[in-house]
Each structure stands twice: as C-alpha cells, then as structure tokens.
C-alpha cells in the first residue's frame, strides 16, 4: 500500500521503460539512508510528544510540582465543554474554506505564472511575497485593512460597509480571506514544482495532435500534477485544522466566541487558564482528529489518482 | 558497507559539496558572531541575570538595568522582551520545564496565569519581604504584592482607568469642566455628539479594551457601597449577578444605546481607537493611563491629551476610581543567581528608581518623595487614590478564567447577541471554577 | 501570441490586488506615529526613513540578521540532506516496515506543537543547548523533517525508477545513483523545500523567543517583536524591521525562481 501512488507510467518514457523493463530489477536503497533523519526526528519530535502525552491524564497546572493522575477525567470534561465542542464547528468551516479557496487560487496562479510570460519571474515573487511575512504580522496588518470605518481600508477601497472582524457572522470568513491571501502563493509554489516536472514535449505533442488548452490541461497536466495536488490538499487541510497564529492575533477567538478554534481553546487552557493537563487532552484529541481526516483524504485522493 | 562509505567520499555530488560549503561558512560565521558578553567579561566572575519581560517594560527596564550595571559592573542583565501573550506562553514553558529565568515579569495580585498569586503559590517566586522598600507598600496595595503576608513582586506604582480626552475637541465643543457625576457625563457626551464628533472611541476588537469601561464604573457601583465586596465574593456571599456589576453593565450599554460610541466597536482595534482620539475624530476613550505615551505620540501635540476620572455615580462623593498596581517583576526562587537577582530588585525599590520607572510609563509612583513626578494628566485622580480607589478587579479574582469571560461577554453584549443576565451568569460560573 | 499577452495583463492585474497589503506594510513602515494615526493607508507624505535607521540600530538588526542567517542556512542544509536521503529510501522501499516508517514521519505533521513543548524544552536544557544556535538548528531540523520528507517522497515516487536504474546498471552504488542521477532531477521540489522551510524558520517567533530570549543570539522576529507592547508599541519601527527582515527571503526566492525557470527551459528545449 502506498500513500502517494503517483502514476509512474509516463507516455514519453514508454519506450525507455520497455527497454529496461526486462533487465532492471529495482532494488531498495539501504536503511542507512533514512537512519540519520529518523534519529533527529525521534529525538526532537517523537520522544517529547510521547512524554508529553502523559500530562493528558493529569491535572497539572503547567507550573510547579503539584500534579496527580486523574485518569480520563480530562476527556470527560472535554465532552461537556460547550466552548471546546463549539470550536470544532468553527475549525471545520475555516478548514474547508481555506482548503478550497487557497488551492483553487494557488492552482490558477501556478498555471498563470507557468506560462511563458515576460514578467513570470517577477509575478512569482509577488504572489509568493505574502508567505514571507510572519503570520502574526499578517494579522496585525490586516487589522488595518479590515478597519470597519467605511472610509478606510478595504471598505474604503471597495465602497463597502462591512464589519470584517467585529460581526460574529463575518469574522471567521475574514480570517479565512486573510489566510488565503497569505498562503495561495504557498500552494502555488508546490503546484509549480509539479508543473516544472511536466515535460514540455508532452504539451507540444498534444498541441500538434490538435488538443485545446482545456484538453491539454485535463489529459496532460492534471494527471501529472497528482503528487502536487495530494501534497497541497493534505498540507492545507492539516494547516487549517491546526491554524492558530492568525486566529489568535486577529481576533483571539472573538467577538465573543465566534472564531474560537480547537487550537485557540487548547492554547488558552494551557497558557491563560493554567490547565495544562486538560489542554494536553484537547491536543491529543486534535491530533487524532487531524490524523483521521488526513487518512480519509488519502483514500479519496488515491481514488482520484486511479481514475485520472 | 565499506563500499558505501568509499563511494560517499569519491562521488559526492556537486550539490552536496555546495551544501557542505554553506554549512562550513555558516559555522565560521557562528563562531565569529558570539556576543561580546563572554569576551569582555572574560574573567568569568561576572554574573549574568536573565530577565524576561513584556514590551511595555522595555523603556524603563533598559534604563534601570544600565544604571545598575554602572553601579555594579560585576553583574550583567540580559533582558528579552516580547508582546504580552507570547511572554506568557514562553515563560510558562520555561517555568513548567523548571528552568525559570533569574528575573521575569509578574502580574500583581491574582487572576492571570502570570500573576503573583499563581506563580508564588507554585513556589516559584523568591520572597522579597526582607527588602526595605516592601515596608512602605501602601496598605490598599498589599494584596497585589503579597501572598500570606510575604512580598513576591516589585512594581513601580499604579495606573488609573479614566477618560483620556482630546482637549482641543472639548474646547471646540464648548466643554468647560470635566464631569463630576454620571448625569453630567451623559450630558457631556450628548453635547459632543451634537457637535459632530464621536464622544467615546471604543476599540473592543482588542480584547483587553472591552473591560475598561466596566472597570471604570464598578468602583462606584460596587465598592463605594461595599468596600469588602471582594472578600464576600471570595467567601461565596456575593456574586456578579447580585451586585452593582449589573448596574455597571447597564450603564455600559446605555452609552451604546445613546450612540455615544463609534460605529462598530467590535471591529475597531485599540490602534484605531488611539488614532480616533489623537486626531480628534473622537473626543475621548475610556482607557488606562499607561496608554498615554502612545496616545501622545499619535497626536499632533502631546499636550492635546489629558485625563479625568469617569464618574460612575450621581453623587460626586460616591464616585470611586480604579487604580491598579502596574505589571512588575519577581525573582526566581530556585535560580542559581537568586541572591543577585534579589539585589537588583532591592535596587529598583530605591525611591529614585521607583520614580524613574513610574515616570517612564506615566504611572503614579508606589511611594513618593519630593523628587517624584506625577504626570499632569493623572493629577485629577490623586484626590481619590487615598481612600476612594480600588485595584483592577481581576487582581482579586481567584482564577484566570473570569477575565477572558468578561472580554467575551462584553463583545457579545455589544453585538446584541446576549443579555446582561446571561453575561453575569457566565462570569459567576467562571468565578466559581 | 495575443492570448499570452492577455494572460499577462490579467496576471499583472491580479498581482496588483495581491500587493495591496504589501503596499500597506511598506507604507506604514515609512510613517511616523502621527501619520499612521491620521491616515494609515494613504501613501506616506512625506516618507519617514527614520523607522529603518531606528530599527537597524535600536533593535540591533545587524547581529539578529546574522543569527537568523546562520540558523536558517544550517537548518536548511541539514533538512535537505537528511530529508532527501530518507525520502529516497521511503519512496523506494516496499516492505511493510518501510511504509510504517513513512507513516511515522507523517505523524510529525499532524501532531500539535504544544504536545511535546515542555518535554522538548527540558531536553534541550539537559543537552545544554538553550541560548545557542545549535539548539535552534537541532529543533528546526527535527520539527521540519516530516514536512520535508513528505514533499520529497511524493515527488520521488512520481519519478520513474528507471533513471536510477540506468545508473545502477553501470555499476554505481545507491549513493552514487541518488546523488548523481536522482537528486538533480529533484531540483524543482528541492527549490520548493528550500524556500518553504526557509520562510518558516526565518519567521518563526515563538521557539526562538523561548530558547534564545536574553541570550544575545536573538533572531530577527524576536528582536522586532520586543517593540510590540500591550499599551505602548513602536509600530513604525516594527513595520520597518519586518520589511528589512523579509527582504533577504524575497531575494532568495527571486534568485531560486530564476534558476529553476532557466534550468528547465534550457534543459528541455525540444
């Protein structure tokens, strides 16, 4: 079972494949190739995470020596915690909005700047530039842009009267807009890496065969973009579910609790309320949730790749 | 295996060579950019005191740390500042891992995760009670500094909450004297509104700003009537719902209903609130005196701004004000430099240093002498500070959950999504957690 | 030809819209507090360059720039070396154990950072690496490896095995086949791995604050955010510092993109 079953059969290499097919016996590289990475990864990520999980079963405040084991009490608290449960809905809505729009925009941008435009190098820099700004600062900056005053910011520019961050029914989407602006260039870069891997001869051959732009995209580009699509969808989904900095800096979960996500809730429990044990329990649930969603996605994407 | 290693040596790709070169170059730079500390204090005898503070402390702390190093060259203070939320996160991580910095920011009283009561309660703050300055802490401030009779935090003084107003706007609207009662205040707002300015700028998008109007009113609606309210509430004999808190919330919403706030306060940030008052688009903001330096920077002339106490009662004599001890610092109880760290705090406790710190943040010095200066903008609060002032409410709250709930319910009330009953109920629930 | 021209016009229009917040950032960095209060989004009139000089001197951006560069460059080298080798193995291995290892790496992307935060801090303290470049490099290498391995594995799997096979038939070892044949083919994704990791490491604020705060080795975000207070901030300085801090990454990206574009149009010209 492979997670990323990109299609290995490229029409252009069909000839070569046949030539080597009989003699080449694919050998796997030695384990040693993965060993250094595994050691560092285990030390920095796995070991601390595994030792951290213990706190989920305690009532530790986060500081001091007082700590006792409380079994599954934290998980029971979570089930009855209206605020935490309410934040799940926000987390999902935000994630769906970000995944769909960010990848859609990212793909269009990538296709646009992959074409032989005179300004493509510069355009790539422009679309990528928001990625370079730190997320906390992006939120800070967008608060100027989201000024509710009709004569200022985005309202002034577009002649609107929207209360971007203050209206509880709008705030979540405003955050999504800000995140999409920042990360569309991120998706673009990954799509571009996929597009650069599509040999131009293929396009030229298809063009000679009389294929139109859409057909060339559908039958030549899209199938070969599979790894980039998978990577982008998974990264943006995971990123959306875990999104913290932007929400925290833009609204801190407000107005009221309108933009509270699982990440802001678990952050507040640990560092504002001093309930580290409970926060770890939420973190654990979040991790399982994200893992489950990713798995579902993998199955779906594999299906798509097969039918493509 | 040997084959592999052999190959590694002879057939390394161009890329790997380039990477190796970069790494080597970086390593060389790393060595050549060691901070001068180790070089200049080479003797090894110098003590380095690590301080972690919030950005609001930077100006005062940098000055006093420099003065201390001048007086005591064997000590070097290495400060680090960051925005409040991030400091809270990073400090709690370090405290949690048992590696506290020698000196760090501490919030007075209780009610937040970085407050004196919570950290000292976990046994992580050094007892400062032996230092001379602790003997002169005014009685009303003792709960902010002390837990079980021992002092754990240094703070240079107190700040007040009231109306920061633009003098030019008041003049243009023909306002002569600041209001002394709630009715006068409402009349003033009316007058300003008719003059075509926003009477009160409210930046409720920034969570901590939401609480200031309630905090400014509650001393008059709750504590003027019952100065022991905090103790009763702690004992479970009083609640938010059955107290003057209800009246304060009603007054808050009355200001909104009468159209005295800017449009869409929930979407307006603290920065935008500041700009509105500084540029005269709005006449005033209910704010803490610590923001005065920022308001002044944004105004065309620093003299444009002043403050007056927000009168929360219709009898001028039962108007009380909030005066809270400003964010301070403490010494780690377990650090290997605990004695040196305490010595630095003792230095901060000298009157001239209290004066210097307070001046930098427009605060009222903890104790005063002839050389103390008090920001002219807060002079109108001085008659209250002796016996008609109460600490900021959260400093006496038993846990860190009440304050964020207060922020959230105010935003919900302003959005019209909640009622005062629901709001106070949520606060009472959080209080009992 | 006309269609390319049309596309170019459309893309430039989109770019202008995209740049609006960037323009906001730059324009704020050129204003004094009074100008920001008056009209935050109008063009700076007159522009104040004082913010940049203050940011450079007061926030000690010079040394911070060196710290950020050292930490970012060394971490990137380690990430690309460790990540690409591991991914080559993971993409080619066919055993269950190999697949399990791949899933184990992916787990690193899923885990919330807070889970291991305190044990990790204890570990770095025990290793004596608090307040050092080495501690940060170790941290970033570990924390970004899952992402790096994920990107590389996806792309290596899409590469025909025959490329490496061809080299191996000539008697080359796996190491030679990888460094000489496979790795050069990974250039587009290496560029992506490089820039995306660089951005994360360069901008990361929280970990360097915890690990480097007060050490004299602060990175750019740590130095700049020291001026963001609750009550009092130096916004002009902060914006200017962030603009200065972002420039190196923009330049690296521009250089990288030109390299990637050039490499391909010259290499595969039919």
Which CATH number belongs to the domain containing residue B267 in this structure?
A: 3.40.190.10
Using CB atoms, pick whichever of A50, A134, A228 lies closest to residue C205: A134
- What's CA B70's distance to the chain center, in Å? 28
Tell me whether residues A272 and B404 touch, CB distance under 8 A: yes
Angle at which helix A14-21 crosses helix C162-169, to 10 degrees, equals 40
Average model confidence (pLDDT) for chain C?
A: 87
Compute the residue count for chain C. 270
- Calculate what percentage of chain C has a pLDDT beyond 90: 52
Name the residue in chain A with its Cα closest to that of B402.
A273
Output the pLDDT for position B17: 41
In angstroms, what separates the C-alpha of A169 from chain C's closest C-alpha?
23
* B144 and B57 share one domain: yes
- ω into A255 cis (within 30 of 0): yes
Tell me whether residues B118 and A62 touch, CB distance under 8 A: no
* B210 and B269 share one domain: yes
CA nearest to B337, candidates B96, B82, B137, B72 = B72
Does residue B19 lie within any of the structural domains? no
Compute the residue count for chain B. 433
Domain C59-267 class in CATH: mainly alpha
Contact C96, C102 (CB under 8 A): no
The verdict on A84 touching C (C-beta cutoff 8 Å) is no
- What's CA B263's distance to the chain center, in Å? 27
Using CB atoms, pick whichever of C66, C183, C205 lies closest to residue B33: C66
The band of C261, judged by pLDDT with boundaries at 50, 70 and 90, is low
The answer, yes or no, to whether residue B387 has pLDDT greater than 70, is yes
The band of A178, judged by pLDDT with boundaries at 50, 70 and 90, is very high
Mutate to test the interface with B, among C79, C168, C231 (most CBs of B within 10 A): C231
Tell me whether residues B272 and A65 touch, CB distance under 8 A: no
Name the residue in chain B with its Cα closest to that of C120.
B97
Using the 8-state DSSP alphabet, how is residue A149 labeled?
S
* B288 and B392 share one domain: yes
B242, with CB counted inside 10 A (0-12, 13-18, 19+), is exposed
* B145 and B217 share one domain: no
Q: How are strands ordered across the β-sheet holding B47-54?
A: B75-82, B47-54, B103-106, B328-331
* B233 and B319 share one domain: yes
The answer, yes or no, to whether residue C141 has pLDDT greater than 60, is yes
Using CB atoms, pick whichever of A141, A157, A230 lies closest to residue C25: A141
The verdict on C261 touching A (C-beta cutoff 8 Å) is yes
* B145 and B170 share one domain: no
Pick from A255-269, C100-114, C249-263: least confident: C249-263
Q: Residue B142 sits in which domain range?
A: 44-156+326-369
Tell me whether residues A273 and B96 touch, CB distance under 8 A: no
Using CB atoms, pick whichever of A63, A252, A272 lies closest to residue B96: A63
Q: Is B77 helix (H, G, I), strand (E, B) or coil?
A: strand
Q: What is the pLDDT of residues C199-218, one digit of tens each?
A: 999 999 989 999 998 888 99
Does residue B9 lie within any of the structural domains? no
> What count of other Cβ atoms lies within 10 Å of the Cβ of residue B196?
8
Number of cross-chain residue pairs from B and C with Cβ atoms under 8 Å apart:
168
Residue A164: φ, ψ to 5°: -50, -55
Query: Half-sphere exposure (CA, 13 Å, Cβ side) for A178?
Result: 31
A110 to chain C: which residues are within 8 Å by CB?
none
Pick from B348-352, C166-170, C236-240: least confident: C166-170
Average model confidence (pLDDT) for chain A?
A: 85
Using CB atoms, pick whichever of A10, A136, A291 lies closest to residue C160: A10
Output the pLDDT for position A247: 95
* B61 and B81 share one domain: yes
The band of B362, judged by pLDDT with boundaries at 50, 70 and 90, is very high
* Measured CA angle at B17 (ends B15, B21), to 5 deg: 115
The band of C221, judged by pLDDT with boundaries at 50, 70 and 90, is very high
CA nearest to C62, candidates C200, C251, C214, C244 = C244
Query: Half-sphere exposure (CA, 13 Å, Cβ side) for B245?
Result: 22
Q: What is the pLDDT of residues A92-149, one digit of tens each?
A: 999 999 999 999 999 999 999 988 888 888 899 999 999 988 888 899 899 999 999 9
Does residue B133 lie within any of the structural domains? yes
| Gap between the Cα atoms of B100 and B124, Å rounded | 8
* B414 and B309 share one domain: yes
Task: Give this complex's ipTM.
Answer: 0.89
Q: Is B155 helix (H, G, I), strand (E, B) or coil?
A: coil
The answer, yes or no, to whether residue B14 has pLDDT greater than 50, is no
Q: What is the pLDDT of residues A31-55, one digit of tens each?
A: 889 999 999 999 999 999 999 999 9
Output the pLDDT for position C1: 60
The band of B355, judged by pLDDT with boundaries at 50, 70 and 90, is very high
A256 to chain B: which residues are within 8 Å by CB?
408-409, 411-412, 415, 417-418
The band of A1, judged by pLDDT with boundaries at 50, 70 and 90, is very low
Pick from B29-38, B92-101, C32-41, C222-231: least confident: B29-38
* B184 and B268 share one domain: yes
Output the pLDDT for position A232: 94
Output the pLDDT for position A264: 94
Output the pLDDT for position A227: 83
- For chain C, the domains span 1-48, 59-267
Name the residue in chain A with its Cα closest to that of C82.
A37
At a CB cut-off of 8 Å and minimum separation 6, what does B101 contact? B50, B51, B52, B91, B94, B332, B335, C213, C214
The answer, yes or no, to whether residue C268 has pLDDT greater than 80, is no
* B240 and B350 share one domain: no
Q: What secondary structure does DSSP assign to B23-69, as a single string?
A: HHHHHHHHHHT--HHHHHTTTTTPEEEEEEEEGGGHHHHHHHHHHHH
Average model confidence (pLDDT) for chain B?
A: 89
Structural domains counted in chain B: 2
Domains of chain A: 88-307 (1.10.3720.10)
Output the pLDDT for position B335: 83
Q: Could you say which residues from 78 to 97 on chain B have a Cβ atom under 8 Å away from some Cβ of chain C?
A: 78-84, 86, 89-90, 93-94, 96-97
Output the pLDDT for position A238: 93
| Gap between the Cα atoms of A53 and B107, Å rounded | 30
Contact B102, B49 (CB under 8 A): yes
Q: Which residues of A191-215 are buried (b: 16+ CB within 10 A; e: fewer)?
A: bbbbbbbbbeebbebbeeeebeeee
CA nearest to C205, candidates B90, B50, A242 = B90
Does residue B11 lie within any of the structural domains? no
Q: What is the mean pLDDT of residues A174-202?
A: 89
* B401 and B275 share one domain: yes
Output the pLDDT for position A302: 59
* B319 and B330 share one domain: no
């Amino acid at each position: 079972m492979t997670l990323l079953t990109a299609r290995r059969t490229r029409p252009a290499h069909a000839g070569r494949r046949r030539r080597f097919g009989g003699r080449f016996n694919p050998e796997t590289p030695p384990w040693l190739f993965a060993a250094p990475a595994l050691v560092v990864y285990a030390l920095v990520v796995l070991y601390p995470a595994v030792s951290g999980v213990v706190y989920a079963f305690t009532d530790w405040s986060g500081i001091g020596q007082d700590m006792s084991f409380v079994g599954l009490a934290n998980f029971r608290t979570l089930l009855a915690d209206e605020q935490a449960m309410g934040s799940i809905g926000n987390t999902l809505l935000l994630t769906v909005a970000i995944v769909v729009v960010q990848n859609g925009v990212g793909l269009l941008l990538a296709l646009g700047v992959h074409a032989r435009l005179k300004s493509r190098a510069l355009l790539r820099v422009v679309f990528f530039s928001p990625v370079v700004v730190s997320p906390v600062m992006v939120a800070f900056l967008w608060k100027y842009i989201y000024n509710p005053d009709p004569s200022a910011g985005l309202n002034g520019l577009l002649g609107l009267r929207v209360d971007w961050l203050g209206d509880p029914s709008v705030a979540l989407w405003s955050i999504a807009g800000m995140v999409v602006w920042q990360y569309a260039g991120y998706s673009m870069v990954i799509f571009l890496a996929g597009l650069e891997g599509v040999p131009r001869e293929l396009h030229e051959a298809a063009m000679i065969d009389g294929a139109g732009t859409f057909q060339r995209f559908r039958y030549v580009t899209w199938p070969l973009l599979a790894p980039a699509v998978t990577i982008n969808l998974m990264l943006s989904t995971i990123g959306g579910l875990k999104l913290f900095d932007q929400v925290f800096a833009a609204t801190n979960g407000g107005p009221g609790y309108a933009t509270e996500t699982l990440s802001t809730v678990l952050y507040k429990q640990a560092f504002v309320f001093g309930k580290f044990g409970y926060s770890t329990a939420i973190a654990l649930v979040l991790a399982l949730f994200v893992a489950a969603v990713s798995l579902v996605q993998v199955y779906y994407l594999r299906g798509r790749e097969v039918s493509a | 295996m040997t084959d592999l290693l052999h190959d590694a040596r002879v057939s390394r790709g161009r890329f790997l060579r380039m990477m190796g070169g970069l790494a080597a170059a970086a390593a060389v730079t790393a060595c050549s950019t060691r901070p001068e500390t180790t070089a200049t204090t080479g003797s090894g005898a110098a003590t380095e005191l690590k301080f972690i503070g919030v950005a609001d402390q930077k100006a005062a702390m940098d000055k006093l740390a420099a003065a201390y190093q001048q007086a005591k060259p064997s000590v070097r203070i290495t400060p680090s500042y960051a925005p409040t939320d991030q400091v809270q996160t990073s400090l709690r991580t370090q405290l949690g891992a048992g590696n506290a910095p020698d000196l760090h920011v501490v919030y007075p009283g209780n009610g937040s995760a970085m407050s004196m009561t919570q950290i000292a309660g976990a046994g992580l703050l050094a007892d400062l009670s032996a230092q001379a300055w602790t003997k002169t802490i005014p009685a009303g401030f003792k709960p902010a500094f002390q837990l079980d009779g021992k002092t754990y935090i240094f703070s240079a003084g107190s700040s007040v909450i009231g109306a920061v107003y633009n003098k030019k706007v008041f003049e243009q609207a023909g306002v002569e004297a600041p209001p002394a009662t709630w009715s006068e205040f409402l009349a003033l707002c009316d007058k300003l509104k008719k003059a075509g300015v926003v009477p009160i700028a409210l930046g409720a998008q920034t969570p901590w700003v939401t609480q200031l109007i309630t905090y400014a009113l509650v001393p008059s609606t709750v504590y003027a009537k019952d100065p022991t309210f905090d103790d009763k509430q702690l004992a479970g004999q009083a609640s938010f719902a059955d107290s003057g808190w209800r009246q304060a919330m009603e007054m808050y919403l009355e200001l909104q209903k009468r159209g005295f706030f800017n449009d869409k306060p929930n979407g307006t940030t603290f920065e935008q609130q500041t700009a509105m008052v500084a540029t005269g688009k709005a006449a005033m903001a209910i704010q803490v005196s610590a923001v005065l330096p920022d308001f002044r920077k944004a105004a065309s002339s620093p003299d444009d701004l002043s403050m007056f106490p927000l009168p929360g009662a219709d009898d001028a004599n039962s108007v009380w004000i909030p005066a809270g001890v400003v964010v301070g610092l403490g010494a780690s109880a377990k650090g290997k430099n605990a004695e040196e760290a305490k010595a630095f705090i003792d230095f901060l406790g000298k009157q001239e240093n209290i004066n210097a710190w307070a001046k930098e943040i427009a605060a009222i010095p903890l104790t005063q002498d002839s050389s103390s200066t008090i920001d002219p903008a807060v002079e109108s609060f001085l008659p209250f500070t002796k016996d008609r002032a109460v600490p900021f409410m959260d400093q006496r709250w038993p846990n860190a959950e009440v304050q964020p709930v207060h922020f959230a319910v105010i935003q919900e009330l302003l959005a019209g999504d909640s009622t005062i009953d629901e709001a106070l109920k949520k606060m009472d629930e959080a209080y009992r957690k | 030809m006309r269609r390319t021209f049309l596309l170019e016009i459309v893309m430039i229009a989109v770019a202008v819209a995209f740049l609006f917040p960037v323009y906001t950032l730059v324009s704020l960095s050129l204003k004094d507090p009074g100008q920001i209060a008056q009209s935050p989004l109008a063009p700076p009139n007159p522009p104040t360059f004082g913010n940049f000089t203050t940011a450079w001197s007061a926030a000690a951006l010079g040394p911070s720039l060196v710290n950020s560069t050292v930490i970012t460059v060394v971490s990137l080298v380690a990430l690309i070396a460790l990540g690409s080798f591991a991914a080559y193995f993971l993409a080619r291995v066919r055993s269950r154990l190999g697949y399990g290892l791949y899933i184990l790496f992916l787990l690193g992307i899923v885990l919330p950072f807070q889970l291991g935060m305190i044990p990790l801090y204890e570990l770095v303290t025990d290793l004596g690496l608090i307040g050092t470049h080495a501690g940060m490099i170790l941290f970033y290498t570990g924390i970004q490896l899952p992402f790096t391995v994920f990107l590389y594995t996806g792309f290596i799997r899409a590469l025909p095995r025959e490329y490496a096979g061809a080299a191996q038939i000539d008697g080359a070892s796996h190491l030679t086949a990888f460094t000489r044949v496979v790795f050069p083919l990974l250039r587009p994704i290496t560029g992506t791995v490089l820039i995306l990791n660089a951005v994360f490491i360069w901008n990361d604020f929280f970990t360097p604050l915890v690990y480097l705060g007060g050490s004299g080795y602060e990175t750019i975000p740590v130095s700049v955010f020291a001026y963001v207070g609750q009550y009092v901030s130096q916004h002009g300085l902060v914006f200017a510092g962030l603009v200065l801090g972002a420039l190196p990454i923009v330049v690296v990206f521009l250089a990288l993109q030109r390299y990637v574009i050039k490499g391909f149009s010259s290499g595969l010209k039919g």
